[in-house]
Amino acid sequence: MFANRCFSIFWAAGRIRTDESWRDEYLKWICSFANAQGGTLYIGKNDKGEVVGVADAKRLLEDIPNKVKNTMGIIVDVDLLTEEGKSYIRIETEPCGFPLNYKGDYFIRSGATLQILQGSALTHFLLKRTGAKWDAVTVDNFTYQDLDIESFNIFRREALRSKRMTEDDLACRNYGSPEPGYITHPCDLMVRFDAAFSVMPFIEEERRKAEAAQSVSEQQLEETTQKTTQKMIELMRSNPTITIESLCKECGLTRDGVNWNIRKLKSAGLIRRIGSDKGGHWEVVEE
């Protein structure tokens, strides 16, 4: 067929197609361009790439963008060009950021051929273009009875073998908790864990440990801050013209860290800056 000859001769980097007249089936090619790296379609050129002109060019200039928009919802650039007194049309399609279909079918280029994606190829294409993963796709009419118990057993066995989880992590009954409950919705599965009374002392002990650890961390932070501010005061007392860069080096802090401590010392009334940033000096307020 003419279309096949045209593709084999005038396919440039897989992105250019020429033909002498417009046919609505070329909307499939525009769809395939959008689903790939974009492409250009010329109407009014023969299979040698020569301009032969196209009938009703001005009408097509209006009809083609409307057909593309109405069938696929995208905008393409359609230009009316002239060469040696003959008019032809250039249709430029940019790559689309989401999967595009034409009348329910997803088209894509493979080399110089047009293909309809179906089955696993379509699933792979849709997941890739939407940035989704197979395990994020919801399955309708799914209940926990459909879960494969053997798969859970494999998970438990491999988690223990790799030492990434322990028996305590995997078994509720070790702490006297009842088995999890399953609540199914149309698009998700909820697992409910009920804490038994026997676990409450354990939970309370863990909470006390966490609070104690936080208290120790806050105390250590306060002690470190006090040591840093005291060192800065001593440096300013011994060298009133000391620079921010020197304070950073002496205290082992970033510029933001030094400025934060300076603001804290100023607000506490322990230091003040006399003069400008460049020509001034630090003054330590003695009690």
Q: Where are the chain's structural domains?
A: 2-130, 144-192, 221-284
DSSP string covering 28-94: HHHHHHHTTT-EEEEESB-TTS-B---TTHHHHHHHHHHHHHHHH----EEEEEEETTEEEEEEEEP
d(CA 52, CA 40): 18
Checking DSSP bridges between strand 77-83 and strand 86-93, what pairing results, if any?
A: antiparallel
* Backbone φ, ψ for residue 83 (5° rounding): -145, 120
Q: Which of 10, 30, 110, 120 is nearest to 72 (CA)?
A: 30
Q: Angle at CA 81, nearest 5°, toward 77 and 83?
A: 155
pLDDT for the residue 2: 33
Please indicate, yes or no, whether the overall pTM of this predicted structure exceeds 0.85: no
Q: Which of 271, 278, 281 is nearest to 233 (CA)?
A: 271
CATH top-level class for 221-284? mainly alpha
* Least confident interval from 68-72, 127-131, 149-153, 195-199: 195-199
pLDDT tens for residues 218-261? 777 777 778 888 898 899 999 999 998 999 998 888 888 888 88
CATH of 2-130, picked from 3.30.950.30, 3.30.2020.30, 3.55.40.20, 3.40.50.300, is 3.30.950.30
pLDDT tens for residues 267-278? 888 888 888 877
